[in-house]
Structure 1
Amino acid sequence: MTDSIYERDLDKCGANYAALTPISFVERSAAIYPRRTAIVHGERRISWAETFTRMRKAANALARRGVGIGDTVSVVAANVPEMFELHFAVPMTGAVLNTINTRLDAATIGFILGHAEAKVLIVDPEFSSVAKKALETAGRKDILVIDIEDAVYTGEGGRIGSLTYDELLAEGDPDASYVKPEDEWAAISLNYTSGTTGNPKGVVYHHRGAYLNALSNAIDWQMGLHPVYLWTLPMFHCNGWCYPWTLAAVSGTAVCLRAVRDQTVLDLMRQEQVTHFCGAPIVLNTLASAPDEMKKGLPKPIHAMTAGAPPPAAVIKRVEAMGISVTHAYGLTETYGPAVVCAWQEEWNDLPEDERAAIKARQGVRYTVLDGLMVADPETMEPVPADGETIGEIFMRGNNVMRGYLKNPDATTKAFRGGWFASGDLAVMHPDLYVEIKDRSKDIIISGGENISSIEVEGILYKHPKIAEAAVVARPDEKWGESPCAFVVARPGESLSKEEVIAFCRENMARFKVPKTIVFGELPKTSTGKIQKFLLREQARSIGTES
């Protein structure tokens, strides 16, 4: 640092510097808009003042039970008020929030609990059975298990913990002090991503990135104050793309939703006068496919943000015909969810419908808080020409890129290359500097917004006693965007049916990972015996779209 006049007697102090943290957002909303509704869940209406009180009670109760800096609090829950509250309450103890994908099988959840060294597990009744099995798999009898009791949920599931969430709140003092980070680089959350190898990788977010991406959500989507946000996106996924923190920043209303069903979603849109919602293209497709009678009387305007598998232009067109304005975003778990957005240009309004929809299907330009976005040769790191034709890999850098992978320095080093984060996604850069994905360098299948590792599915297929070889690729799917397609070779002398393979998969992996299509026959290989997946992808596409 140079010894300039601006470095003399102008030091940071409590008056002019504070570590960035989303906790400050909820403090402000509770103070300025205490009576405004923060959360809607069934018949419940919870104000920002009450929400903040509940958060402080939860934080103090957890702290009294020994939860603090460096600890992990894991949660397996649907989009319920408790899940929203924990996005603030856990960081207020100094601990790290680990929201777990509710669709995962017990073995994978057990791995996560062990790898994350979870001190507490908070469980929604809908997932108590799989959580109980996961605890047994992890062999962690020392984990404090807390049960959420949800009056809206009427299905099966019982208590597996030593106390309920409400009993935890009763232990807490809302007037007690809570923790805010001294260093904004401190971890705030831990999200697991499947990647391309067996066990999932733990992506670590920090307070600074969560704070900035939350604000960028509001700016780049032009949300304004007091939006009414419907939780069609799982809060476990990249911390709901940081939208719990965004809603606190703009004093919005979180309308909780346990499951995405067309009738429920459309009814809530009318009932609560919803203004915004997020989701994978399957959510848009679900709404577009609903009966016309069901779509009547929707409030206007409604804004939808979609990401995951690139949304088909035809789906965007059908949804916008309902009066829902679609914004396409792109990102990864490693970038706090959306970090690239198809920012709309006014001159595009005059284009024909099909052309507008095709443009909206592009991934777009960098978020306000993303410092850099480029499409480059992955070997030389030289940017490709902005010609809309030359393919390269997407690279990003900025404050909304993860700290790294938990306890996995090799994977972290591989992901960070030359000062950039390597996405593994292949794209072109258009002359207007809008990015458009063309393919994936990783064999990831994105089905309904969830990543599925082809290698993981293949590994399970190879465990079948009658299977000699297996390869899994993505097949276009009208409903889910993509679905797994398995190419299988039976052992000599063995007879194997599609139904038998699918049944085996259902017994050994999460249901959303189960291949929908099974193809029998020899696998194309190189002279060295490597399976030529690009040929299998072509074959899967030639089968047609799964409907």
Structure 2
Amino acid sequence: MYPLTYAATHPEKPAVVMEDGEVITYAELEDRSNRLARLLHERGLRPGDQVSIWTENHPRYYEIYWAAMRSGLYITGINRHATVEEAAYILTDSRTRALITSTAMAERAEALLGLAPECTTWLAFDGHVPGFESYEESIATQQPTPLPEQPRGEVMLYSSGTTGRPKGIRRPLSGLRVDDPTATRTSALSGPLLGMNSDSIYLMPAPLYHAAALQFSVGAQELGGTVVVMRKFDAERFLELIAEHRVTHTQVVPTMIVRMLKLPDEVRLRYDTSSLRSFLHAAAPCPPQIKRQAIEWLGPIVDEYYGGTEGNGMTFITSKQWLDHPGSVGRAVLGSIRICDDDGVELPVGDAGTVWFERDKTPFSYHNDDEKTRASRHPVHATWSAIGDMGRIDEEGYLYLTDRKAFTIISGGVNIYPAEIEACLIVHPDVADVVVFGLPDDEMGEYVHAVVEPAAHLAPDAATVQLLRDHVRAHLAGFKVPRTVDFAAIPRMATGKVQTRLIRQAYLDRLA
């Protein structure tokens, strides 16, 4: 459902509780999302138009989301660490009509003005940002009642593109009203799989611009539950909030599990976690020994799912199922799994190949990238789609991933795309060639490593490493800056392609 349902029956129930104590009730969420929806409509936004939000974890995030959902708009959350260049690209590529930000982003937000030609509404909350209207003052001019028509909107989140630029994952609008029970998304799975309901307390420890963080937390609101939001993840504070709010559900990435397990026992075991019904993890491979420790600590509530931002399919596995099938990411709960060879021929059970999901319809496209969209579709079966992962299934239908999306680095649950970093480095006058890939890290999962073929005049020393890292930092978000840089000639095939897998394997062999 959506906020009006619960504003009518439980107006004072908390919809959002920030970790510092700020509370947004369902009545307030309904009021404010209506006012914003009316403001955007007054500014000319219509179903299918785009609104973007660029901010830290903030209670306004949810009212902006629900304003878009009840207006038939697409909404994009921009990584709060993005540079002006990166944010401007997304605003332009998505044809954003309205950008909403906060004073915490003031310096970079102000620099965006004039860089997104189709954006005509610029709003900022929590104070003054030059060139932006006051969010609070603007929505106060609107009525707190729903628009006459409330078609359900959609999210359009960004993933990697073939050119190194991110690509928007766009799903068609459903054509349903926001109050149509079949218009729900995450809650249609989280209810049956995780047992979430109107009594659930969901702890949200991740950045809201992440697909899973946003979708699972608004899924809790679809069910009438309460979402507790962390400003930033901290292992002990996370456990403290579980005990304080009697949290029933949460979702984490393996890096967070590692950090909690590294707490001294006297700290980790100090907090009462008995209220938890599901401790869900995803976004990156979880080392088996870490998962076993988590199950031993928390009990058989450590659930896992696998699926991409594209939403083309999903698997799920409980603790008990995992202990019986260690290493698996579960059986399909959305779509049907097909494993195929490079030619698209379906393989026998147990053989590894590309993971395809069969659905009754094609669920997504890559915005402004028809080639990438076509590549995601099976050559024969139009309703089969893949996002590049490799795996196998056993006789019971459990999926085991054998590789991840080609060359994608997953650090702390965040996808980092080497092509974007390579594109940034190759334009530097001192770089003749470059390849970027991930190497194992005990805490983060992987870290960014670059191999640079230097220009003839370049001294391959520590000063040059810092020069190149500074260059990347000037153009891309900090988490994309290579932690380490080596210098070497980079072999290319006759086709011009770098054999990245072989180069990376050579490094893995040295680390073994």
TM-score, normalization by structure 2: 0.89
**Per-residue deviation, 1:540:** 2.9
Q: Aligned pair 1:280/2:256, yes or no?
A: no
1:386 corresponds to: 349
User: Cα gap change, 1:133/1:484 in structure 2, threshold over 3 Å: closer, same or farther?
Assistant: same
Structure 1, gaps ≥5 residues long: 1-23, 151-157, 349-354
Amino acid at match of 2:373: T
**Per-residue deviation, 1:363:** 1.8
User: Cα gap change, 1:530/1:407 in structure 2, threshold over 3 Å: closer, same or farther?
Assistant: closer
Q: Give CA deviations for 1:472-526 in whole Å, capped at 9, x if unaligned.
A: 1221112221222111222224202333332332223211111112222233444
What is the aligned counterpart of 2:61 among 83, 90, 115? 83
Amino acid at match of 2:458: E
Matches within 5 A, 1:101-250: 101-136=79-114, 138-140=115-117, 143-149=120-126, 159-181=129-151, 188-206=154-172, 208=174, 211-238=184-211, 240=213, 242-250=215-223
**Per-residue deviation, 1:423:** 1.7
User: What is the CA–CA distance in structure 2 between the aligned matches of 1:216 and 1:539, rounded to whole Å?
Assistant: 42
User: What is the CA–CA distance in structure 1 between the aligned matches of 2:413 and 2:310, rounded to whole Å?
Assistant: 15
SS of the aligned residue for 1:126 comes to: helix
1:4 corresponds to: none
Q: Aligned pair 1:482/2:458, yes or no?
A: no
What is the aligned counterpart of 1:35 among 12, 35, 42? 12
User: What is the CA–CA distance in structure 2 between the aligned matches of 1:541 and 1:444, rounded to whole Å?
Assistant: 16
Matches within 5 A, 1:392-541: 392-398=353-359, 402-417=363-378, 418=381, 419-440=383-404, 442-497=406-461, 498-526=465-493, 530-541=497-508
SS of the aligned residue for 1:333 comes to: coil
Q: Aligned pair 1:365/2:342, yes or no?
A: no
User: Cα gap change, 1:249/1:530 in structure 2, threshold over 3 Å: closer, same or farther?
Assistant: closer
Does the aligned pair in 1 maintain the 2:239–2:271 contact within 8 Å? no
Q: Provide the aligned C-alpha RMSD in A.
A: 2.6
User: Cα gap change, 1:176/1:535 in structure 2, threshold over 3 Å: closer, same or farther?
Assistant: closer
User: What is the CA–CA distance in structure 2 between the aligned matches of 1:201 and 1:528, rounded to whole Å?
Assistant: 25
What is the aligned counterpart of 1:52 among 21, 24, 30? 30
Does the aligned pair in 1 maintain the 2:251–2:281 contact within 8 Å? yes
Does the aligned pair in 1 maintain the 2:202–2:248 contact within 8 Å? yes
**Per-residue deviation, 1:421:** 1.0
2:304 corresponds to: 328
User: What is the CA–CA distance in structure 1 between the aligned matches of 2:125 and 2:359, rounded to whole Å?
Assistant: 36
1:351 corresponds to: none
Does the aligned pair in 1 maintain the 2:12–2:27 contact within 8 Å? yes
Q: Aligned pair 1:297/2:271, yes or no?
A: yes
**Per-residue deviation, 1:149:** 1.5
2:227 corresponds to: 254
SS of the aligned residue for 2:110 comes to: helix
1:3 corresponds to: none
User: What is the CA–CA distance in structure 2 between the aligned matches of 1:343 and 1:105, rounded to whole Å?
Assistant: 39
User: What is the CA–CA distance in structure 2 between the aligned matches of 1:161 and 1:294, rounded to whole Å?
Assistant: 47
Q: Give CA deviations for 1:339-389 in whole Å, capped at 9, x if unaligned.
A: 22124556x6xxxxxx56x72x4221112xx2322222241331x2222xx
1:64 corresponds to: 42
- Please say which of residues 438-447 and 248-257 is displaced more in the overlay: 438-447
Q: Give CA deviations for 1:436-494 in whole Å, capped at 9, x if unaligned.
A: 11113522112222222211111222122222221112211122212221112222242
Aligned pair count?
495
- Please say which of residues 268-277 and 293-302 is displaced more in the overlay: 293-302
User: What is the CA–CA distance in structure 2 between the aligned matches of 1:521 and 1:342, rounded to whole Å?
Assistant: 43
Does the aligned pair in 2 maintain the 1:59–1:89 contact within 8 Å? yes
- Please say which of residues 209-218 and 90-99 is displaced more in the overlay: 209-218
2:178 corresponds to: none
SS of the aligned residue for 2:45 comes to: coil
Structure 2, gaps ≥5 residues long: 175-181
Identity of matched residues, %: 25
User: What is the CA–CA distance in structure 1 between the aligned matches of 2:156 and 2:90, rounded to whole Å?
Assistant: 10
Q: Give CA deviations for 1:245-303 in whole Å, capped at 9, x if unaligned.
A: 31123211111222112233222222222222213222222222233343212331423
User: What is the CA–CA distance in structure 1 between the aligned matches of 2:155 and 2:188, rounded to whole Å?
Assistant: 17
SS of the aligned residue for 1:97 comes to: strand
1:13 corresponds to: none
User: What is the CA–CA distance in structure 2 between the aligned matches of 1:469 and 1:134, rounded to whole Å?
Assistant: 31
Does the aligned pair in 2 maintain the 1:334–1:401 contact within 8 Å? no
TM-score, normalization by structure 1: 0.83
**Per-residue deviation, 1:75:** 0.3
**Per-residue deviation, 1:161:** 4.6
Q: Give CA deviations for 1:116-168 in whole Å, capped at 9, x if unaligned.
A: 111111003322322333345x2538532111229xxxxxxx62453333223
User: What is the CA–CA distance in structure 2 between the aligned matches of 1:400 and 1:341, rounded to whole Å?
Assistant: 21
SS of the aligned residue for 1:78 comes to: coil
SS of the aligned residue for 1:334 comes to: coil
2:285 corresponds to: 310
Amino acid at match of 2:285: P
